[in-house]
Structure 1
Amino acid sequence: LLDSPHVSAGRVPTQAGLRMFVDSLLEVGTVAPEDQERIDATQSNGDQDVTSLLDQVGAALSGITRGASVVLAPKREAAIRHIEFVSLAPERALVVLVFADGQVENRVFAPPPGQTPSSMREAANFLNALAEGRTLSDLRHSIGAEIARRRQQIDSLARELVESGIALWQDAGQPSERLIVRGRANLLESVADQDEIERIRVLFDDLERKRDIAEFLDLTETGEGVRIFIGSENKLFSLSGSSLVVSPYMNADRKIIGAVGVIGPTRLNYGRIVPIVDYTAQLVGRLVSERGQG
């Protein structure tokens, strides 16, 4: 259960050895007061939106653990309250979505040629009539059929604007669009030799594949509690020999709505990191629920 990767290296636990240790011998401690204080500090601004909150949580988690943190934000299920198009320049416009829970999202885009203030108002009025009480996902799925059915009620310029504006949110709700990764630089701190540098290079490549990581985290939402994936147990990080400690978080109804985790080398201090991830997941679930999301 010990291995020596090269002549100059000391003997290190194999993956099987680490798994046996984690399953049978690991003593999980409690969160140190100073760590708990840093995690709790993320809730100091009660007015911040969910995205800002989760970004701050990710930064705190990576700073405390000295690993890379991953946070999967909840899917937005709130109904749309209002949609507006704003002209910024001849070739730039802003589309603003206001949700029933008070959250606001906006995106800048290049509108179809020839748009006028009148066509923008018409497009917004058309969408607002359709969107009332619907989620963004509902609207995206039905907009094509609605445009075809009401073709006589909306001119071609406004119709093009509606289609291009809604297309901006085509990936909204997909796992890769909900993933926040922080602290990549921490993974370089303990690099000791060329083999380690290559391992970190591969891990950085893995972290760039946000869609794969997010979809994997989505799968962790099927079970409660902290889970530990060591090395090749997680196919995403098999080449880099990295570990993932992850826990889903829940809303007030005990429904799993997202996940938080830490990625690092297999020699992670599991006894310390497991309770940190668990505590963070519980806090995030409560804070997200208080903000009416999930």
Structure 2
Amino acid sequence: MIELNERSEYIFSYIVENYLRMGMPIGSKQVLADLALDVSSATIRNVMASLESQGLIIAPHTSAGRIPTSRGLKFYIDGLMEIGDIDQQDKAHIDQICAQAGETTNDMLNRAGQTLSGLSRHLGLVLAPKLDKAVRQIQFVKIAPAQALVVIVSTDGLIENRLIELDKDVSESELQRLSNFINELCAGRTIGDISRTLADAMKKNRIHLDRITTDLVTKGLAVATTNQANEPHLIIKGQSKLLEDVQAIEDVERARDLFTLIEDQQRMMQLVQSTSDGDGVKVYLGAENDIFNHAGWSMMIAPYKNADNNIIGALGVIGPTRLNYGRIIPILDYTSRVLTKLIG
């Protein structure tokens, strides 16, 4: 277990913050000058030697200065870094982009991934849940003349909304009657099962629906089926931004490995699923956690939940270890809470 006294903590935090800001090693003389501490340079050197012996900082190549190790950076992020509230401009942008009326859950998740990539300026990813699950309830709600909203609530609490256009105006009482009819007949089945059950029943004259009701059922279930994903899948946005993170020749191999990992959807899904089993934002730093084949990359992951407070997916950001964690972590946390609210 790492334990630092107040002075060591202060000096270590400055070394990390200098690295995240500048990307350069820093020596004891510079630390002393920048922090204006009432101690000798030898004292600073002793503190830095202790930090190095604990595996928190390292001298890159032949440099006299020090930078944080992956272990040190993780220790700083988890225990020392002060995470503030999300920037109000970022908050407003997320609210505006994610809450688009009439969109499917999958549309919303795609927009969330794009928003994460845009705000962080790195790769954004979203693990989208399997949506073709057993249905708890289907509700048809009148929005305007000849227009209705289909609300589908799955047994695990996921809510899917979609607008449909009708050939003729239908009253609210007719829509409620249809909702009751479908729920009595089909509750607990998947959308695919419901469609097949109704089609088979109408074909064999076991139930009789008028033309308007048939139109409602057909369009409502067709829209729902079209917009549901049969399997969990990974949404990735901003792959081109990874190229912007390749700043030196030695980064090329790491970037190539990361692209290979991203292209392997199954492996990426397993990776994200394995890291999204808790609350809040988790930070994984490169090879230290076997996330990537090489050090140099980091991944931040936050889960989102359904109405029953069960984790159904995750969203994250991948970039170099020198990320603006203080800004990106609040963005991830807020976006996950927005998705949880909208989906639930």
TM-score bracket, shorter-length normalisation:
0.5 to 0.7
Alignment of 1:245-264 (within 5 A): 245-264=300-319
Q: What CA distance in whole angstroms lies between the structure 1 residues aligned with 2:92 and 2:278? A: 28
Q: In the alignment, what sits opposite 1:23?
A: 78
Q: In the alignment, what sits opposite 1:280?
A: 335
TM-score (norm 2): 0.56
In the TM superposition, residue 80 of structure 1 has moved relative to its aligned partner by 10
In the TM superposition, residue 271 of structure 1 has moved relative to its aligned partner by 1.5
In the TM superposition, residue 57 of structure 1 has moved relative to its aligned partner by 0.8
Q: What CA distance in whole angstroms lies between the structure 2 residues aligned with 1:14 and 1:138? A: 52
Q: In the alignment, what sits opposite 2:241?
A: 186
| Secondary structure of residue in 2 paired with 1:253 | coil
Q: In the alignment, what sits opposite 1:218?
A: 273
| Secondary structure of residue in 2 paired with 1:282 | helix
Call closer, same or farther: CA 1:44–1:248 in 2, change over 3 Å.
closer
Amino acid at match of 2:243: L
Equivalent of 2:124 in 69, 80, 87:
69
Q: Is the 8 A contact 1:79 1:136 kept in 2?
A: yes
In the TM superposition, residue 256 of structure 1 has moved relative to its aligned partner by 1.4
Rg larger in structure? 2
Amino acid at match of 1:79: V
Q: Is the 8 A contact 2:307 2:343 kept in 1?
A: no
Call closer, same or farther: CA 1:208–1:52 in 2, change over 3 Å.
same
Amino acid at match of 2:341: R
| Secondary structure of residue in 1 paired with 2:294 | coil
- Are positions 1:243 and 2:301 aligned together? no
Call closer, same or farther: CA 1:288–1:100 in 2, change over 3 Å.
closer
RMSD: 3.6
Q: In the alignment, what sits opposite 2:112?
A: 57
Call closer, same or farther: CA 1:240–1:181 in 2, change over 3 Å.
farther
Q: What CA distance in whole angstroms lies between the structure 2 residues aligned with 1:4 and 1:197? A: 22
Q: Is the 8 A contact 2:285 2:299 kept in 1?
A: yes
TM-score (norm 1): 0.64
In the TM superposition, residue 15 of structure 1 has moved relative to its aligned partner by 0.9
Call closer, same or farther: CA 1:201–1:267 in 2, change over 3 Å.
same
Call closer, same or farther: CA 1:44–1:259 in 2, change over 3 Å.
closer
| Secondary structure of residue in 1 paired with 2:318 | strand
Q: What CA distance in whole angstroms lies between the structure 1 residues aligned with 2:230 and 2:289? A: 24
Q: Is the 8 A contact 1:66 1:187 kept in 2?
A: no
> Which of the pair has the greater relative contact order for Cα pairs under 8 Å at 6+ separation?
1
Q: What CA distance in whole angstroms lies between the structure 1 residues aligned with 2:245 and 2:270? A: 28
In the TM superposition, residue 236 of structure 1 has moved relative to its aligned partner by 3.5
In the TM superposition, residue 246 of structure 1 has moved relative to its aligned partner by 0.7
Q: What CA distance in whole angstroms lies between the structure 2 residues aligned with 1:277 and 1:9? A: 36
- Are positions 1:33 and 2:88 aligned together? yes
Alignment of 1:106-117 (within 5 A): none
Task: Provide structure 2 residue ranges, at least 5 long, that are not aligned to the other structure.
Answer: 1-55, 139-149, 154-159, 163-184, 197-203, 205-225
Call closer, same or farther: CA 1:9–1:65 in 2, change over 3 Å.
farther
In the TM superposition, residue 174 of structure 1 has moved relative to its aligned partner by 3.8
In the TM superposition, residue 7 of structure 1 has moved relative to its aligned partner by 6.2
Equivalent of 1:48 in 103, 113, 119:
103
In the TM superposition, residue 274 of structure 1 has moved relative to its aligned partner by 1.0
| Secondary structure of residue in 2 paired with 1:237 | coil
Q: What CA distance in whole angstroms lies between the structure 1 residues aligned with 2:87 and 2:310? A: 28
Task: Provide structure 1 residue ranges, at least 5 long, that are not aligned to the other structure.
Answer: 83-97, 105-130, 144-152, 154-168, 290-294
Q: Is the 8 A contact 1:213 1:236 kept in 2?
A: no
Q: In the alignment, what sits opposite 2:135?
A: 79
Q: Is the 8 A contact 2:245 2:320 kept in 1?
A: no
CA-to-aligned-CA distance 1:98-148 (integer Å, 9 cap, x gap): 9945668xxxxxxxxxxxxxxxxxxxxxxxxxx944544996xxx9xxxxx
